[in-house]
């Protein structure tokens, strides 16, 4: 039998796939750029519930993110790539060391994924001539998971991440929106069925089990906030200082894909995945820029990492952390860090920790920090009523 000739669009799609793989994409698929009403409704419902409160997304954002034409007038196709960042698990963690999520312990993925996308976009320009393209990887209002799912790149799990067949969910996404009409791929017909392991693994109850998330409870969001971490959620953070992998680590398709390892995303340094919390608590702006500017942890500032280190030290319940926390409480220039150090000292609750709280209570002027100190002391009052 003689194979029918490929149309120009199909030939171009095949070239795009080849170039994408050569450039470093682990998987590539194409979606129609038609506005998705289902995506709009899901996003708008999530924002109306307040799930993404910390991100300020609203119905207008939902309308833009579900319509590629909002970022590129005349958009016809969305080329979606997945870049695996699965890497071998780091060595066992040591006491007084925190935990950084898989996605942030190496070179900033935005840079790498953008490089791949730019190469594909150049190819499209070269081959197709007058087409317009727009690149997206966290940088444009586009529901990246939804378009990747509609391209058949994978399916959205109850942990809300896109799971790619044989790669699992440890994949970054990136898209090229183009005015070129390319033959779209077919969406997968897969769902989680009765599995709910990710829901059980989530320590904060962020996952509802209906493919939605209350992101205000997600550790990934909490560790990136620039204001305080709500007191009732601090214990659930455990030793995470940036991001969280627990729901994905519990996910069977992701576990099955463990053998896939992309060395481009291996930890920068031994302490990249498990940094010393005492060192992190003392991190100042200059060292922060040198150490973290080239990672996905390099955009919220040093004080956020010091705050997260304080919480993780409090959760470690190790008295060896008390001297460093006492120094942070009395000298850190940022009230948010002093406040969380007070919380951590209260959680450890050793005589030295409680003494540090008493000493600072006598001189602290910031009302927020005074409130944190008082709350930390309060917890111990029934045990030591004569102390104060």
Note the residues at the interface with ligand SF4 (CB under 6 A).
157-159, 192, 195-198, 201-202, 204, 206-207, 213, 218-220, 244, 246-247, 250-253
Check if the beta carbon of residue 217 is closer than 8 Å to that of residue 233.
Answer: yes
**Residues touching ligand B12, count (CB under 6 A):** 38
Determine the Cα–Cα distance for residues 277 and 96; give it in Å rounded to an integer: 6
The site string for ligand B12 over 211-240 (x = CB under 6 A, - otherwise) reads xxx-x--x-xx--x----------------
Least Å distance between CB 232 and ligand B12? 18
Pairing relationship of beta strands 162-163 and 77-84 according to DSSP bridges: unpaired
| Among ligand SF4, ligand B12, none, residue 162 binds (CB under 5-8 Å by kind) | ligand B12
Closest CB to ligand SF4 among residues 251, 326? 251
| Among ligand B12, ligand SF4, none, residue 337 binds (CB under 5-8 Å by kind) | none
Q: For this structure, is 138 an active site residue?
A: yes
- Which positions ≥6 away from 68 have C-beta within 8 Å? 33, 35, 75, 78, 142, 147, 177
Active-site residue identified among 58, 67, 125, 138: 138
Give which of 308, 333, 148, 173 is closest to 242, Cα–Cα. Answer: 308
Indicate whether 58 belongs to the interface with ligand B12 (CB under 6 A). no
Give which of 16, 185, 173, 152 is closest to 109, Cα–Cα. Answer: 173
- Output the six-digit token pair for 200: 């059980």
Euclidean distance between the first and final Cα of the chain, in Å?
92
Tell me which of 52, 280, 353, 354 binds ligand B12, using CB under 6 A: 52
Query: Within 272-331, which residues bind ligand B12 (CB under 6 A)?
Result: none
Determine the Cα–Cα distance for residues 172 and 19; give it in Å rounded to an integer: 18
Radius of gyration of the chain (CA): 24
Residues that bind ligand B12 (CB under 6 A): 38-39, 42-43, 46, 52, 55, 101, 103, 137-138, 142-146, 149, 156, 159-162, 169, 171-173, 211-213, 215, 218, 220-221, 224, 243-245, 247
Q: Write out the catalytic residue numbers.
A: 138
């Amino acid at each position: 039998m003689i194979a029918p000739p490929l149309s120009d669009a199909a030939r171009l799609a095949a070239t795009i796939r080849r170039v994408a793989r050569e450039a470093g994409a682990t998987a590539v698929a194409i979606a129609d750029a038609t506005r998705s009403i289902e995506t709009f409704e899901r996003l708008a419902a999530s924002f109306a519930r307040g799930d993404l409160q910390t991100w300020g997304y609203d119905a207008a954002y939902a309308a833009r993110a579900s319509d590629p034409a909002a970022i590129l007038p005349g958009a016809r196709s969305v080329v979606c790539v997945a870049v695996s960042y699965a890497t071998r698990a780091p060595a066992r963690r040591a006491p007084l060391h925190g935990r950084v999520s898989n996605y942030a312990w190496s070179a900033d993925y935005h840079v790498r994924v953008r490089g791949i996308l730019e190469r594909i976009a150049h190819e499209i320009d070269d081959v197709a001539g007058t087409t317009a393209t727009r690149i997206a990887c966290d940088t444009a209002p586009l529901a990246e998971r939804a378009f990747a799912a509609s391209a058949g790149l994978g399916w959205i799990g109850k942990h809300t991440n896109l799971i790619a067949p044989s790669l699992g969910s440890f994949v970054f996404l990136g898209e090229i929106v183009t005015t070129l009409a390319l033959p779209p791929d077919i969406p997968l017909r897969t769902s989680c069925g009765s599995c709910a392991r990710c829901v059980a693994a989530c320590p904060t109850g962020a996952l509802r089990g209906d493919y939605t998330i209350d992101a205000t409870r997600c550790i990934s969001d909490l560790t990136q906030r620039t204001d305080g971490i709500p007191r009732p959620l601090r214990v659930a953070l455990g030793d995470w200082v940036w991001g969280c992998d627990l729901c994905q680590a519990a996910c069977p398709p992701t576990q099955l894909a463990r053998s896939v390892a992309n060395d481009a995303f291996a930890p920068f340094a031994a302490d990249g995945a498990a940094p010393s919390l005492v060192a992190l608590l003392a991190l100042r702006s200059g060292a922060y820029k040198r150490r973290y500017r080239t990672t996905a942890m390099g955009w919220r500032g040093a004080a956020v990492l010091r705050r997260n280190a304080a919480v993780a030290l409090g959760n470690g319940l190790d008295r060896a952390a008390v001297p460093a926390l006492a120094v942070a409480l009395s000298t850190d220039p940022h009230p948010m860090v002093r406040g969380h150090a007070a919380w951590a000292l209260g959680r450890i609750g050793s005589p030295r920790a409680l003494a540090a709280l008493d000493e600072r209570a006598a001189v602290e002027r910031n009302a927020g920090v005074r409130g944190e100190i008082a709350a930390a002391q309060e917890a111990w009052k029934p045990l030591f009523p004569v102390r104060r």
